[in-house]
Amino acid sequence: MSYKKLTNPQIAWRAAQDIDDGAYVNLGIGFPEMVARFQPPGREVIFHSENGVLGFGEAPVDGEEDWDLINAGKKAISLNPGAAIFNSADSFSLVRGGHLDVAILGAYQVAQNGDLANWRVGHAGVPAVGGAMDLVNGAKQVIVVTDHVTKDGQPKLVESCSFPLTGVRCVTKIYTSLAVIQVRDERFVLLEKLKDISFDELQSLTGAALHIENEIVDLEVPELES
């Protein structure tokens, strides 16, 4: 392998750069939560957590947590000025009512038509799909952050999902450890790729055709601690 793939913090950093100022954003549990760490200076993003918080801030330092203030992943949070706390029913009314600009989620598989599978692999995974199905249908944009391949090297970007779906034709953009890809007209359109990986190498690691509509930009990110 002649290239060094991006780490999770680097993927999260790249995704954060494309979130518009003033956007209302939900971050999925786990890896997607990392995106909140990398907001560009001077840009305000209002983060939502489906357990009923809008406008949470950075994680408190160790020892200063208030465990009455947590996100949906049960991690301690702080509140930014103007933050709101409300019940879960109101939180999901916000989601289902189309008031979120962006939902950022992880994935087991993404199909070229935008189908998303991110809750169960065969007999492994959480017992039910949960709030992710509401998020992918309610948010104006659905962004996926993920490694490009599985731990055993199988493509996560595929022609059609073989795992149970979270949502149908919902994903708009994918930030992986190797590339940035737009889902457009039920195709994977390559926008950026690591400089050290060739198009043919990237295609061999992708389970569906990659399409080029404009000049491919080098995917460049800073060095970050994991």
Active centre residues (catalytic): 50
- Token digits for 40? 């560009």
- CA separation, residue 23 to residues 138, 209, 214 (Å): 14, 32, 27
- Paired with 183 in beta bridges are 188
CA-angle at 146, arms to 112 and 55, nearest 5°? 110
Look-up of token digits 């949070």: 77
Q: Which residues pair with 143 in a beta bridge?
A: 104, 173
Cα(202)–Cα(108) distance, integer angstroms: 18
CA 182 to each of CA 51, 133, 188, 222: distance values in angstroms, whole numbers, following the listed order: 30, 21, 6, 22
